[in-house]
Amino acid sequence: MAAIARARRPDGAAEPFVALMRRYCIDYTNSHDLSVCDEIMRPDYTLHMAEHHLTGRDEAYKPAVLAQLRQFPFLGLVVHDVVTNGDRLALRFSEHGASVKHDARLASWSGIGVYRWDGSRLQENFVEQDYWSRRRQLDTGQPLELLPPALDPWMVAAAASDDRTEAAARAWLAKGTFGGGEVRVDDSWRSGSPQPRFDVHEVAVDDLFTAGTSAAFHVTITGTYRGGLPGLDDHIGATVDHYAAGVVSIDHERVRGDVITDRLGLERRLAPRR
């Protein structure tokens, strides 16, 4: 699927929120310089990932990042897409590196984050990363190639929020199913990895914003598990929560884009002792 075209700023200047995220990606994440967090994040910065909520930049967030960097000492981040309306921003990215816990085996895995700021510093992030794919790559020793980076994500222009896009996105999200058509889910669209199946009971929209015909979201899907993931047949019929973050473009009921789900966490919620 071809990349979705984004309008670019012609003046050579970055949108303020985009400029902040450039520091987040380059000065902080790729440089492993956690001192930058003090400048770009509020002290009460909160990260939401699946059912986990890390509140507190220094008390909760930084320790979690340090644990990740201990496993991947030269962790890298690649940006594939940026969507913003000026007040909100979504980042589609991949992280990659060699894990010292797995004899330096390599992996690359995708993620989507939906960010809120206060006009100067980051305030909140709903994010999912494809840790199920990462685990499989580290277990098998067969890493996936990195997806191509955006040619220049920092020149993206803000697009105004749109009520029609929001209504269409909410109607689509209410179905609780993402695969098929022009929506790429996790790494399944290129690796053939399995996806879980559900009888969907409810879809709670945890976060959602629009920018023109684009929508970025995080949702909690509650449903009856009907199979799909290996080794979990004993748990078919269980009621469980599943989490997803995505960035899609909606144009005349045509939905295309990317969704990242919490398959690894789903396994642990279905089979805690596994």
One digit per residue, pLDDT tens: the chain, 274 residues?
A: 567 888 898 888 899 999 999 999 999 999 999 999 999 999 999 999 999 999 999 999 999 999 999 999 999 999 999 999 999 999 999 999 999 999 999 999 999 999 999 999 999 999 999 999 999 999 999 999 999 999 999 999 999 999 999 999 999 999 999 876 799 999 999 999 999 999 999 999 999 999 999 999 999 999 999 999 999 999 999 999 999 999 999 987 799 999 999 999 999 999 987 6
Residue pair 45/119 in contact (Cβ under 8 Å)? The answer is no
Domain range spanning residue 224? 163-270
Strand partners, 84: 89
- DSSP classification of residue 24: I
Give me the number of domains the chain comprises: 2
Same domain, 24 and 54: yes
Q: Which two tokens stand for residue 248?
A: 């899609």
**CATH number of the domain within which 221 lies:** 3.10.450.50
- DSSP classification of residue 8: B
Residue that terminates a domain, selected from 155, 173, 194: 155
In a domain, 6, yes or no: no
In a domain, 256, yes or no: yes
Q: Beta-carbon neighbour count of residue 76 at 10 Å? A: 14
The DSSP element (H or E) to which 269 belongs, if any, is: helix 263-270
Same domain, 146 and 58: yes
Same domain, 146 and 179: no
Same domain, 126 and 179: no
Residue pair 93/72 in contact (Cβ under 8 Å)? The answer is no
Same domain, 150 and 194: no
